[in-house]
A = this chain, B = another copy of it.
Amino acid sequence: MKRIEALKQVVFEKKGFDGFLITNEANLLYFMGFPGAPCILISKNGRSVIYVYSVNYQQVKAEAKDFKVELVKRGEDLGTKIAKKVKALEVKKLGLDTIAGVPHVAGYLKLTKALRETTKVKIENEAVRVLRRVKDEGELELMREAGELTSIGMETAYEAIKPGVREYEVAAEIEYAMRRRGSWGTAFETIVASGVRSAFPHGGCTERKMKKGDLVVVDIGANYQHYCSDMTRTMVVGKPSAKQKEIYEIVRLAQEKACRVVKSKVKAKDVDAIARKVIEDAGYGKYFVHGLGHGVGLEVHEPPTLNRESKDALTVGNVVTVEPGIYIAHLGGIRIEDTVLVKRQKAEKLTKGPYTLETKQQT
Contacts and interface: CB of A to CB of B under 8 A. Distances in A.
A103 B101 contact: yes
A332 to B, nearest CB: 12
B190 A168 contact: no
A200 interface: yes
Contact of A182 (B168, B179, B183): B168
A327 to B, nearest CB: 7
Interface residues of A, number: 51
A202 interface: yes
Nearest to A325: B55
A207 B199 CA distance: 39
A58 B329 contact: yes
Q: How many copies does the complex hold?
A: 2
Interface in A127-173: 168-169, 171-172
A98 B103 CA distance: 10
A34 B354 CA distance: 32
A179 B185 contact: no
A8 to B, nearest CB: 23
A180 B185 contact: no
A11 B199 CA distance: 37
Contacts of A176: 172, 175-176, 179
A105 B205 CA distance: 33
A362 interface: no
A309 B168 contact: no
A180 B175 CA distance: 11
A179 B168 contact: yes
A19 to B, nearest CB: 17
A54 interface: yes
Nearest to A190: B185
B168 A172 contact: no
B175 A169 contact: no
Contact of A172 (B35, B105, B179, B205): B179
A175 B222 CA distance: 14
B186 A185 contact: yes
Given A101-B102, A172-B179, A185-B189, 8 more contacts: A54-B289, A55-B290, A56-B202, A59-B201, A105-B123, A168-B183, A168-B184, A176-B176
Interface of A: 35-36, 54-59, 62, 74-75, 98, 100-106, 108, 123, 125, 168-169, 171-172, 175-176, 179-180, 182-186, 189-190, 199-205, 207, 289-290, 308-309, 327, 329
Ranked 3 nearest A-B pairs via Cβ:
A172-B179, A59-B200, A176-B176
